């Protein structure tokens, strides 16, 4: 069975993708819809939705209102699906898919654990290089282009929003779609350039290699070596997810956005895409700046800290790494929600000024300085 | 010029408000590097929301929400709610069907049909109905009543009903809400001056 899996990497990839999306990303995205409302309530001294409950006979499960997302999903599915009379039906239906598909596909490049060493699950890996002959990488696709693949697919998400605005046959949604496309294109430039410094330091574009290069010592993680890039990338990437304070493409309460004409589950998909993007952003920040699945001072054979050692079997190491990776992502999602509910929205001109006149030069300076330091360290060769 | 962002600036020479006129607060543009960087202020803002978040998650420190059906905010003492009809000592209705309350009622929601008690002195209501859907909760009926027969101090809202007719409360319903009243009733009639 395992041999079959190792030989057929496409089957491996399918299983890993299904596990990653169905067991981690989608549950987390659904929970974020609840977390967003509860967290914002807590930040604003309210209680938030806490009344959805499950009645099983005499047992009432309330679970702090977590079940609200089930109620939401049911509502969305059963709502009437309205397509405007003069809308382009094909593009109208295609837009939500184009909005969510690129984000889900790009999860393929995210490494979520160190390589599984087949046949040594319960042993301590003292010498991984010679012991591990056959491995299962905990990453769906290990492609050398790595982050270039991400940037390429992220720009495809622009089509989803622009087409949604255009296909609705509504001036306001068209304007919203234009705002969205101008914002996303502007910030993609900064997003790419801000990661360039990290590429220079780690000498690779491949996420797994980047995580390995950061190692289990937090002082060599990206947030320490590239602090400016961390802030620039976080800002640009939040702008890319189109959430407050950069939510002027949609602006739910007053300015009308690109998905006004969408109802029911089509709207739900846009909504979900936003949360999946949030999780993906957290995953990228974790990979580049927070050491990915690396746990502080956890090496393949166990913890090593200042001469003190705790040996752990391989499977335990991988499980700890998986849990810590998930925790990092959850904390970053929480941070994004905190930012989203703290900062007021930008004006379009402020948005453009921040993107082109402040973040872009800052990221260029970051590249030049990083390149200089990398060159000096390598002895000028 | 590092300044707190919301501190009012001292009015400068040109814009100094004169005595007796409305003062003008001159708020400068964010000039200092700290303000233009935006990041320190962002972090301060995040600190505030984070403080509220953790304090509320751990101990509901700042939350003011009242979980309505389970908890209720106390009403003020003089809150006007659903009507009730008060009782005499023997449990009969205090109302003497004087018609002052339907006369005072601006919404015409009170219907009284009087009948003779048979004791040769007083009337009593045969029918006493209040349409709670028409009632505007002004309390004029209570003001008008000379017998302390009708009160609005139940502290309850008009009930939610399926049919409009269900919102019309009859004498029996109103008496069920009521209780004995201590107010003197009956008096000495028109001859009280002579007896003094």
What is the three-state SS of chain B? CCCCCCCCCCCCCCCCCCCCCCCCCCCCCCCCHHHHHCHHHHHHHHHHHHHHHHHHHHHCCCCCCCCCCCCCCCCCCCCCCCCEECECCCCCECCCCCCHHHHHCCCCCEEEEEEECCCCCCEEEEEEEEECCCCCCCCHHHHHCCCCCEECCCCCCCCCCCCHHHHEECHHHHHHHCCECCCCCCCCHHHHHHHC
Give domain status of residue B149, yes or no: yes
pLDDT, residue A97, reads 92
**pLDDT tens digits, A361-373:** 999 999 999 999 9
Give domain status of residue B120, yes or no: yes
Distance (Å, whole) CA A215 – CA B100: 89
We report the CATH number of the domain holding residue B139 as 3.30.70.3270
Cβ–Cβ under 8 Å, residues B181 and B87: yes
Chain A residues closer than 8 Å to B64 by CB: 45
Q: Which residue of A has its CA nearest to B59?
A: A42
Task: Residue B138: give the domain boundaries.
Answer: 84-177
Nearest to B49 among A43, A46, A47 (CB): A43
Same domain, B50 and B111: no
Same domain, B46 and B69: yes
Distance (Å, whole) CA B177 – CA B153: 10
Mean pLDDT across A268-280: 91
Nearest to A341 among B39, B49, B57 (CB): B49
pLDDT, residue B172, reads 92
pLDDT, residue B3, reads 47
Give domain status of residue B12, yes or no: no
Number of domains, chain B:
2
Pick from B52, B73, B94: which residue ends a domain? B73
Closest CA to A53 of A78, A31, A70: A70
Distance (Å, whole) CA B15 – CA B2: 21
pLDDT, residue B190, reads 59
Chain A residues closer than 8 Å to B46 by CB: 338-339, 342
User: Residues B32, B34, B39, B41: what is their CA dihedral angle, to the nearest 10 degrees?
Assistant: -80
Chain A residues closer than 8 Å to B63 by CB: 42, 45-47
- A338 and B57 within 8 Å at the Cβ level: the answer is no
Tell me: pLDDT of B10 over 80.
Answer: no
Tell me: pLDDT of A80 over 50.
Answer: yes
Interface test with A, best of B49, B54, B66, B70 (most A CBs within 10 A): B49
Sketch the domain layout of chain A as residue ranges.
Answer: 2-377
Q: Which of A185-189, A313-317, B192-196 has the lowest mean pLDDT?
A: B192-196
pLDDT, residue B2, reads 47
What is the reported pTM? 0.81
Mean pLDDT across B76-93: 90
Same domain, B64 and B120: no
Tell me: pLDDT of B188 over 70.
Answer: no
Distance (Å, whole) CA A133 – CA B135: 85
Residue A338 three-state SS: helix
Distance (Å, whole) CA A165 – CA A250: 10
Tell me: pLDDT of A241 over 80.
Answer: yes
Residue A280 three-state SS: helix
Angle between helices A314-340 and A26-43 in degrees, nearest 10 = 40
Tell me: pLDDT of A239 over 60.
Answer: yes
Q: Which of A71-75, A268-272, B7-11 has the lowest mean pLDDT?
A: B7-11
Cβ–Cβ under 8 Å, residues A235 and A153: no
Give domain status of residue B64, yes or no: yes
CB proximity A368 to B under 8 Å: no
């Amino acid at each position: 069975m395992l041999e079959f899996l190792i030989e057929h990497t496409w089957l491996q990839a399918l299983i890993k993708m299904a596990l990653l999306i169905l067991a981690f990303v989608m549950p987390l995205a659904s929970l974020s819809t609840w977390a967003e409302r509860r967290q914002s309530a807590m930040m604003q001294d309210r209680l938030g939705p806490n009344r959805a409950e499950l009645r099983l006979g005499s047992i009432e499960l309330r679970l702090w209102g977590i079940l609200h997302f089930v109620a939401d999903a049911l509502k969305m599915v059963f709502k009437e699906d309205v397509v405007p009379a003069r809308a382009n039906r094909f593009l109208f239906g295609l837009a939500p898919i184009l909005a969510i598909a690129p984000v889900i596909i790009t999860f393929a490049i995210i490494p979520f654990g160190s390589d599984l060493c087949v046949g040594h699950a319960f042993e301590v890996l003292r010498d991984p290089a010679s012991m591990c002959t056959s491995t299962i990488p905990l990453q769906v696709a290990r492609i050398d282009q790595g982050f270039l693949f991400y940037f390429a697919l992220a720009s495809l998400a622009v089509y989803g929003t622009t087409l949604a605005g255009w296909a609705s046959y509504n001036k306001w949604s068209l304007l919203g779609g234009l705002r969205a496309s101008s914002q996303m294109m502007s910030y993609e430039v900064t997003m790419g350039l801000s990661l360039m410094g990290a590429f220079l330091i780690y000498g690779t574009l491949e996420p797994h290699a980047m995580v390995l290069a950061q190692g289990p010592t937090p002082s060599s993680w990206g947030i320490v070596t590239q602090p400016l890039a961390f802030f620039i990338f976080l800002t640009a990437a939040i702008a890319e997810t189109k959430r407050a304070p950069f939510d002027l493409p949609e602006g739910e309460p007053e300015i009308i956005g690109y998905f006004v004409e969408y109802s029911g589950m089509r709207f739900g998909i846009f909504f979900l895409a936003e949360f999946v993007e949030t999780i993906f952003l957290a995953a990228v920040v974790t990979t580049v700046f927070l050491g990915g699945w690396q746990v502080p001072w956890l090496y393949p054979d166990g913890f090593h800290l200042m001469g003190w050692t705790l040996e752990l079997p391989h499977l335990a190491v991988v499980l700890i790494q998986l849990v810590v990776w998930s925790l990092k992502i959850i904390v970053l999602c929480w941070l994004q929600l905190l930012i989203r509910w703290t900062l007021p929205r930008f004006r379009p001109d402020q948005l453009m000024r921040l993107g082109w006149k402040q973040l872009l030069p800052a990221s260029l300076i970051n590249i030049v300085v990083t390149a200089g330091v990398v060159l000096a360290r390598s002895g000028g060769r | 010029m590092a300044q707190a962002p919301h501190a009012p600036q001292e009015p400068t020479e040109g814009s100094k408000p004169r005595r007796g006129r409305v003062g003008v607060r001159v708020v400068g543009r964010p000039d200092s590097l700290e303000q233009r960087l935006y990041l320190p202020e962002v972090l301060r803002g995040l600190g505030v929301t984070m403080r509220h978040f953790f304090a509320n998650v751990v101990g509901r420190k700042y939350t003011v929400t009242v979980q309505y059906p389970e908890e209720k905010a106390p009403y003020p003492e003089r809150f006007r709610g659903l009507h009730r009809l008060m009782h005499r000592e023997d449990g009969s209705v205090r109302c003497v069907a004087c018609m002052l309350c339907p006369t005072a009622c601006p919404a015409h929601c009170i219907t009284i049909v009087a009948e003779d008690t048979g004791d040769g002195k007083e009337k009593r209501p045969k029918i006493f109905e209040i349409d709670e859907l028409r009632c505007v909760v002004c309390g004029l009926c209570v003001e008008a009543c000379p017998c302390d027969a009708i009160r609005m101090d139940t502290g309850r809202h008009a009930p939610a009903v399926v049919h409009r007719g269900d919102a019309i409360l009859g004498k029996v319903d109103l008496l069920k809400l009521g209780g004995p009243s201590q107010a003197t009733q009956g008096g000495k009639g028109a001859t009280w001056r002579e007896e003094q």
